[in-house]
Amino acid sequence: MDLRPVAALLVVAACGRSAGGPPPSVRYAAHVSAGGTLPAAGELKNPFADSASVKQGAQLFVAMNCDGCHGGGATGWVGPSLVDGRWRYGGEDGAVFQSIYYGRPRGMPAYGGILSDGVIWKIVAYIRAQPVPAVVPTQSW
Partner 1 sequence: MLSSLVLFAVLQGTPARDDGEWRMPGRDYAATRYSGLASITASNVQRLRPVWSFSTGVLGGHEGQPLVVDKTMYVVTPFPNVLYAFDLTQEGYPLRFKYRPDVNPTAVGIACCDVINRGAVYADGRIVYNLLDGHTVAVDAVTGKELWKTKIADLGEGETTPMAPFVAGNRVIVGPSGGEFGIYGWVKALDLATGRIVWTAHNMGPDSLMLVRPGTFKGGANVGLTTWAGESWQRGGAPVWGWISYDAELDLIYFGVGNPGPYNPEQRPGENKWTNSVLARRPGDGALVWAYQFTPHDSWDYDSNAEMILADLTIRGRRRKVLVHFDKNGFAYTLDRATGEVLVAEPFTNVTWAKRIDVASGLPVVDSTKVTGASRGNIEGICPSLEGGKSPASPSAYSPQTGLFYTATNNLCMSYQAAPVSRIAGTPFIGASTPYSAGPGGYMGAFIAWDAARGRKIWEIREKFPVWSGAVVTAGNVVFYGTLDGWFKAADATSGRELWKFKVGSGVVGAPITYRGPDGRQYVAVYSGIGGDWFLLSGDVRSDDPADVRPPADFAKDLARHTSQGGMVWIFGL
Q: How far is the CB of 29 from partner 1 (least distance, A)?
A: 16
How far apart are CB 110 and partner 1 at their closest, in Å? 10
CB of 88 to partner 1, least distance (A): 5
Distance of CA 21 to the CA centre of its chain: 17
CB of 126 to partner 1, least distance (A): 14
Cβ pair 123, 59 in contact under 8 A:
no
Nearer to partner 1, 16 or 84 (CB): 84
Q: What is the maximum alpha-carbon separation in the chain?
A: 51
The residues binding partner 1 (CB under 8 A) are 1-6, 59, 62-65, 67-69, 72-73, 75-81, 84, 86-88, 105-109, 111, 114, 136-138, 141
Q: Rounded to the nearest whole angstrom, what is the least distance from the CB of residue 51 to partner 1 in the complex?
A: 20
The CA-based angle 78-3-105, given to 5 degrees, is 30
| Measured CA distances, 108 to 6, 14, 76, 93, 131 (Å) | 22, 22, 13, 17, 23
> Given the complex with partner 1, which of 49 and 85 has the nearer CB atom?
85
Residue with Cβ nearer partner 1 (52 or 78): 78
Closest to partner 1 by CB, 61 or 97: 61
Buried b (16+ CB within 10 A) or exposed e, 95-117: bbbbbbbeeeeeebeebbeebbb
Q: Which is nearer to partner 1, 12 or 114 (CB)?
A: 114
